[in-house]
Homo-oligomer: A and B are copies of this chain.
């Protein structure tokens, strides 16, 4: 059913993403990808009284929309795997009050969407779940005041800084059927290059992306140019450059890399600086841009590597370095999962 090669799981019968939904906020409305989002709101409070409650509302709406687009109900879903950046993952935990679905919380910071998709693909492909919701969210204002400074301070953003997306993405995984296939999953290892600059997440996360990608390529015997695109989650301009350098040192020249954080805010670099970030950034780009391209057969085979920085405000104040992790899922256009390549 599934083959294990090193850190990578290969699904002979790829589970499919039967439905997807992406919702964004105000800044995301200005994105070149805006057209791919299902809903965009100019009110970043989403009708709530706090930013944290706004994120919960955003996540809940996205999950409900995904179920609606799938033409299914909560009863037809076995499990939800979801997470976010708020302390104790309250964005997701509170959203799950509104859904009558068993819930296992996951935490991988900005790598959450790939982690949830990867675990969900395992469970559905093994017949352990009929349907799994994989979801991640983030909210700019909730993240800023938690990790950095209160917004009203108007702190100057450094050139390496990234902008936490106010966005959520949700996928419904099914064991079989129509949809983009999840062909392989590689769970990453924690990597720490002793970066301590909380305004340079790209530098902290690039080594994790390189590590997981290298594991996947070796495990599956894939050459990078066999992939239509290598999508990373939120390395931004700075982290993307570092990823290219790290891979070059391994003899790999990346010509088909794109970063969700750069794609989401293309043209807004003056305010966002290095790019987008947050679990909702790559979750939103996955559901608004990557999956539609695969569904429309504009791409055939891609990898989606979401990267997460695992620090907190407390560890930052304690002058700890920033460990990072990256999880990878290989996605195939509908009908493309069948051809096999044995590593």
Contact = CB atoms under 8 A, between A and B. Distances in A.
Contact of A123 (B87, B88, B107, B122): B122
Interface residues of A, number: 62
Given A90-B314, A104-B106, 5 more contacts: A7-B102, A88-B312, A97-B191, A99-B190, A126-B128
Closest 6 CB pairs of A and B: A126-B126, A93-B310, A87-B87, A102-B187, A88-B312, A105-B107
Contacts of A122: 122-123, 126, 128
A314 B86 CA distance: 9
A49 B319 CA distance: 11
A313 B86 CA distance: 11
Copies in the complex: 2
A128 B4 contact: yes
A9 interface: yes
Interface of A: 1-2, 4, 7, 9, 49-50, 52-53, 78-79, 83, 85-90, 93-94, 96-97, 99-109, 115, 118-119, 122-123, 126-130, 146, 186-192, 310-315, 318, 320, 323, 325, 327
Given A106-B105, A126-B1, A50 B318 contact: yes
Contacts of A87: 87-88, 312-314
Given A50-B318, A90-B311, A78 B126 contact: no
Contact of A89 (B7, B107, B188, B327): B107
